[in-house]
């Protein structure tokens, strides 16, 4: 039985110079996430809810009846504008439905509005790890799921930073490739 902390890529912007997550790969990536969650006996998913990796994993978790804990850096309506509907794909309705159900289950966490930009998303990563630890039962393990192309963009790549933090705790890291 596994508690998963997850981070990953959003779909490539239309003007992206490097392909990391083509929006046409969403079905493929969702299938890979589903296979991983089944193989590892996922019981809980802790993630944010940005378009792409997060929302795909949250949808898979819901379909598999896996508990979902969502961590957002700011209120849902502002997050929706900055991290959900700003990329290709019709992510808005999916986000709205998942947020509503997660809020109803009392599993939606909004962090401090004091942090902005990179620092707010870095705080989300740390909160994802903290909540995974808090939600882990005595018979469960914590694993990290990185949904990405397999390489960091730079040292400040937040997906990569989550992996480094998890490895420092001795937690295994599973990768779901977006390409």
Summarize pLDDT for 119-146 with one digit per residue, the tens.
888 999 999 999 999 999 999 999 999 9
Confidence of residue 150 (pLDDT cuts 50, 70, 90): very high
Taking residues 7-36, report their average pLDDT.
96
Measured between alpha carbons, how far is 109 from 132 in angstroms, rounded to an integer?
Answer: 13
Measured between alpha carbons, how far is 67 from 76 in angstroms, rounded to an integer?
Answer: 19
- Rounded to the nearest integer, the mean pLDDT of the chain is 95
Q: What is the span of the domain harbouring residue 88? A: 2-177
CATH assignment at residue 38: 3.40.50.450
* Beta-bridge partner residues of 45: 4, 68
Measured between alpha carbons, how far is 51 from 131 in angstroms, rounded to an integer?
Answer: 21
Mind listing the pLDDT tens digit for each residue in 101-111?
999 999 999 99
Residue 117 is predicted with a pLDDT of: 81
155 pLDDT more than 90: no
Residue 113 is predicted with a pLDDT of: 66
pTM metric for this prediction: 0.96
Task: Quote the number of domains for the chain.
Answer: 1
């Amino acid at each position: 039985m596994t508690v998963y902390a997850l981070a990953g890529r959003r779909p490539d912007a239309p003007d992206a110079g490097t392909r990391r997550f083509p929006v046409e790969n969403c079905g493929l990536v969702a299938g890979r996430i589903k296979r991983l969650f089944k193989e590892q006996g996922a019981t809980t998913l802790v993630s944010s809810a940005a378009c792409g990796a997060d929302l795909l994993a949250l949808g898979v978790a819901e379909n598999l009846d896996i508990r979902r804990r969502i961590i957002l850096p700011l209120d849902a309506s502002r997050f929706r504008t900055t991290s959900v509907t700003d990329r290709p794909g019709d992510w808005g309705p999916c986000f709205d439905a998942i947020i509503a159900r997660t809020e109803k289950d009392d599993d939606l966490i909004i962090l401090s509005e004091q942090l902005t930009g990179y620092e707010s998303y870095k705080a989300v990563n740390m909160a994802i790890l903290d909540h995974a630890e808090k939600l882990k039962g005595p018979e469960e393990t914590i694993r990290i799921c990185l949904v990405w192309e397999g390489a960091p963009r730079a040292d400040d790549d937040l997906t990569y930073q989550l992996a480094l933090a998890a490895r420092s705790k001795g937690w295994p890291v599973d990768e779901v490739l977006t390409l």
